[in-house]
Structures are given as C-alpha cells and as structure tokens.
Structure 1
Amino acid sequence: MLKFLIHTVFISLLVFAGTSVQAQVPDSLFASANKLYQQEKYIEALEQYQNIEKLDLESASLYFNMANIYYRTNQVAPAIYYYEKALKLNPNDKDVRFNLGFANNMILDNIEPIPKSLWQKFMDGIILRFTYETWSKIAVALAFLFAFLFLMYHFSYSTGKKRFYFITSILSVIFVTTSLFFAYRNKHHMDTNVEAIIFYPAAEVKNAPTKSSDVYFELHEGTKVLILETLDNWKKIKIADGKMGWIDTAAIKEI
C-alpha cells in the first residue's frame, strides 16, 4: 500500500505538471479555430484544432470541439470517437454526454446491451465518475489532511480535542484507503477495458481471425466495441449485447 501511495503521489505531480503544459497551448490558435467554427468554416477550424492535437496534448475542450465539427458535417465515426475521448478526460461533462447521445442516434446498429450487475453500476456511478488522476489527487489531499489531524492530535492537551482529532484522523485514513482503492480500480479498468470505434461504413465480424472464415455479423461506423485480444492484423471484440468475434484492425480506431 505504501508503494502504491508513493506511486500515486508521483503520478499526481506528473498530472500537475501536465496541466501546466496544457496551459501553454497557444491561445491564439485555439481562439482562431473557435472563431472559424462560429463562422461555420468547419474545415478550416478543424485544421486548426488538428494542429493543436499534433502537439500531443490532451484537452477535453479540444476533443469536444473537434467532435462537434465532425457531427455537424455528418461524420459519425470521428464524431463519436472524439466525444468518447473528451468523456475519458472529463467523465462528468454534461455537454459531452448530451451531444454524444445525439451522435449515437446516427449509428445504424441497434444493439441491446446486457443489463449491468450491481458491481458494474457501482463502477459506472462511483469509481468511473472521476478519472484515475482525480482519485489520486483526492487520496493525496486526504493524506495531507491525515498528517495535519495527527499532528493536531499529538500536540493537543484537551481530552475533547484529542478525541475529535483522533476520530477524524482515523476517518481520513479510511477515506485515503478508499480513494486509493478507487484510483487502483479505475486505472485497472482503463488498462484492461480497451475500447474502440468502428470507422468502416460496414465492417465484417468473423468467427475466426482469418479472411476465409465465416462472417458472424456486421457492424457499422460509430459503433463502440471492447477489444479483448489481438492476433496479427485481427482484433477480437465484444459488443454491448455480449456477442464476440474477430475484426480487421484497420476497421477500428482505439479510443
């Protein structure tokens, strides 16, 4: 647990550093792109946004604006792709979720998802509500709070104050442990649940990773899939209703 806490602190410092780097993205370039977007010059605006993206900096606002352009120009797959990328960086953004809902209505595939278990609902509603980095920051903040409360307990002479600081320090330890657990589960989920978007207008999903194998079913652009396995130029995927099969790697783009 101590090693994980140290790793969490280190990652949080990197996140803070990354945030400062993101702030250095040329404001004029972003403002210029936004102005072009407002003038409905979508192609020119998209080029500006893509120039920012090439700097290898992630931004929920950038991805959201790019997704909006793709949506307005009826490009289903890239619209959903960038909405999903924005949502990964900011899971609680209501505007992204709202627009993603509209974009999903453009998908041809009508897939009925399997009902979620209580654990899956808890994952979606609590653990995945914030990013791994956010849970890490919360854990670090609570760790500092514990240190402060423990010092206050140690240097207090009043019995009532000692009792108060002891109880609150114990609670802070519990919250630190919980936040660390949530951060770990969130990171594990992100690492083991690799999702992708279908980019082909129509993509065949086969029952084996070979060109000569039978077609199991077909998916269309914009549909989100879960990648289970990779073999040469094939990906084993799973869709929301539980069906699995193999698809050409070129047909999808990982989120």
Structure 2
Amino acid sequence: MLTFFKHTIFLTALFFSVSLMRAQSADSLFTAANKLYQQEKYIEALDQYQQIEKLELESASLYFNMANIYYRTNQVAPAVYYYEKALKLDPNDQDIKVNLEFANRMILDNIEPIPNSLWENFMEAVILRFTYETWSKIAVSLAFIFALLFLMYHFSYSTAKKRIYFITSILAVIFVTTSLFFAYRNKHYIDNNIEAIIFSPAAQVKNAPTTSSEVYFELHEGTKVLILETLDNWKKIKIADGKMGWIISDNLKEI
C-alpha cells in the first residue's frame, strides 16, 4: 500500500511537472509566434502555432491567430475551420464572428439556410451563448449563493428578513436548475451535432455510400456541413438548406 502511495505521488508530481513544462513551452512558442505574426512572417508564425497545437493545448486565441494567417494567405478551408474552432471555445467573441463572416464570403457555395424554429433560435441566443463549462460554473456559483441564503434564512431572527432570504433562496434553486439544464442541453447539442468543413477544392456528394452511386450535388472548400452518420470511409452529411447525401471522409475535417 505504501509503495503504491509513493508511486501515486510520483506520478502525480510527474503529471504536474509535465503539464507545467508544456504550458511554459506553449507560452514561449505563443509569444514568439505573435512577434512573427506582427512582423508579417506568417509562415514562420504558423509553424510556431502548429507546434502549440501538437501539444494538444486548446485556446480561442491560438485558433483565431491560425485562422487569420490562413485567411491572409487565401486558404479558405483552414481559415473557416480554425475560426469555427475558436468560436466553439469563445462563442461570444465578436472579432471571431466578424472574421468568420469575412472568411465565409470566400466560399464558392451559396447555400440558403432553412429558417430556424423558435426552439433553435432560443438555443442559439441563450443556451449556446456560453459553453457548457461556463453554464456549469454559473450553476456552481448559484448553488453557493443558495447555500449562503439558506444559512442566512436559518439563523435570521427577523420575520421580514426570513421571508426575503426564503424567496431569494428559492429563486437561486430555480436558477441553479435552469443553469444545469442549459449546461446539459449545450453538451448534448455539441455531442450530437458533429460539424465539419469541406477541405477538398471540389467534393461530390452522392445519394448512397458507394463510388458508383449517382452524384447528388457538389460542395467546395470551406463549406460547413453536419455529419449525420459514418459508414466505413463515407460520411452522411446535411447542409444548411436541408439537403443530405454521402461524401468520402477524406474530403472533410471535423471541427
């Protein structure tokens, strides 16, 4: 038991040491990459950013800067791809939204999206406004407030104050439950709505997952699609106007 305990401590220390070294390495790479970016040495800067990405460290700033380089060098698909990845991590960042809009204008496909339902509009405006991690943190903060209000209610001798603390604690419970529901719905949406970007200059979408099947329509690099199903080397996709079909997996990259 003692040996295991020592081994556990060693592994824990090693994990934190490695994590710290990775973070320090990423910080130095990011600083160097930003300097190169400011000097308009985009290829060198991109190489530094990609080294950070290989460390499996994610940040909206990293993806945003990578997307900017791809946009400036007229690489449509990776520009849209990394703007989308940045937006997933920071869905309220206006700079990301604006730059993504500019990048989308470079896409050849002009797809008219189906109007959203009331629930979809609510999802986008409220539930997807924050990440599920943020909603979870809000729920935890509200739970702490509820506990504090409950204690104040319990130890208060004033009837008026007890009434106020009781009502506000009930409201806190409602807000905690709502935040948890939003966190759950957000996570469920993210897990069940796998999006991807077309990376091939032109990709054929067929009506069946076979090479001999009929071509239904064609998509071009940068277009975002929703992955519905995977079968061998084929993906069943759906685009914004509701059309569905099968495409070879190599033609796209999941966000």
TM over 0.5, shorter chain: yes
Matching residue of 1:84:
84
- Cα deviation, residue 38, structure 1: 1.0
Matched, 1:26 2:50: no
- Cα deviation, residue 26, structure 1: 3.4
- Cα deviation, residue 24, structure 1: 4.4
Matched, 1:97 2:134: no
Cα 1:23–1:148, aligned 2, differ >3 Å: closer, same or farther?
A: farther
Larger radius of gyration: 2
In the TM superposition, 1:137-156 aligns within 5 A as: 137-156=137-156
Instruction: Provide the C-alpha distance between the structure 2 equivalents of 1:48 and 1:25, rounded to a whole number of angstroms.
Output: 11
Q: Secondary structure at the match of 2:139?
A: helix
Matching residue of 1:48:
48
Matching residue of 2:59:
59
Q: Secondary structure at the match of 1:213?
A: coil
Q: Secondary structure at the match of 1:110?
A: coil
In the TM superposition, 1:1-255 aligns within 5 A as: 24=24, 26-255=26-255
Instruction: Provide the C-alpha distance between the structure 1 equivalents of 2:39 and 2:86, rounded to a whole number of angstroms.
Output: 23
Q: Percent identity?
A: 82
* Cα shift readout 1:176-208 (whole Å, capped 9, x = no counterpart): 000000000000000000000000000000000
Cα 1:171–1:78, aligned 2, differ >3 Å: closer, same or farther?
A: same
2:73 corresponds to which letter in structure 1? T
Instruction: Provide the C-alpha distance between the structure 2 equivalents of 1:28 and 1:237, rounded to a whole number of angstroms.
Output: 40
2:182 corresponds to which letter in structure 1? F
- Cα deviation, residue 130, structure 1: 0.2
Instruction: Provide the C-alpha distance between the structure 2 equivalents of 1:26 and 1:92, rounded to a whole number of angstroms.
Output: 24
* Cα shift readout 1:73-97 (whole Å, capped 9, x = no counterpart): 0000000000000000000000000
Cα 1:138–1:23, aligned 2, differ >3 Å: closer, same or farther?
A: farther
Matching residue of 2:10:
none
1:166 corresponds to which letter in structure 2? F
- Cα deviation, residue 28, structure 1: 2.2
* Cα shift readout 1:117-173 (whole Å, capped 9, x = no counterpart): 000000000000000000000000001110110011000000011001000000000
Instruction: Provide the C-alpha distance between the structure 1 equivalents of 2:200 and 2:30, rounded to a whole number of angstroms.
Output: 30
For normalisation by structure 1, the TM-score amounts to 0.91
For normalisation by structure 2, the TM-score amounts to 0.91
- Cα deviation, residue 31, structure 1: 1.1
- Cα deviation, residue 23, structure 1: 5.8
What stretches of structure 1 move > 2 A for 4+ residues in a row? Answer: 20-28
Instruction: Provide the C-alpha distance between the structure 2 equivalents of 1:76 and 1:160, rounded to a whole number of angstroms.
Output: 63
Cα 1:150–1:25, aligned 2, differ >3 Å: closer, same or farther?
A: farther
2:236 corresponds to which letter in structure 1? K
1:40 corresponds to which letter in structure 2? E
Matching residue of 1:8:
none
- Cα deviation, residue 27, structure 1: 2.4
| Number of aligned positions between the proteins | 237
Q: Secondary structure at the match of 2:246?
A: strand
2:125 corresponds to which letter in structure 1? G
* Contiguous gaps of at least 5 residues in structure 2: 1-15
Instruction: Provide the C-alpha distance between the structure 2 equivalents of 1:39 and 1:211, rounded to a whole number of angstroms.
Output: 47
Instruction: Provide the C-alpha distance between the structure 2 equivalents of 1:116 and 1:48, rounded to a whole number of angstroms.
Output: 40
- Cα deviation, residue 29, structure 1: 1.4
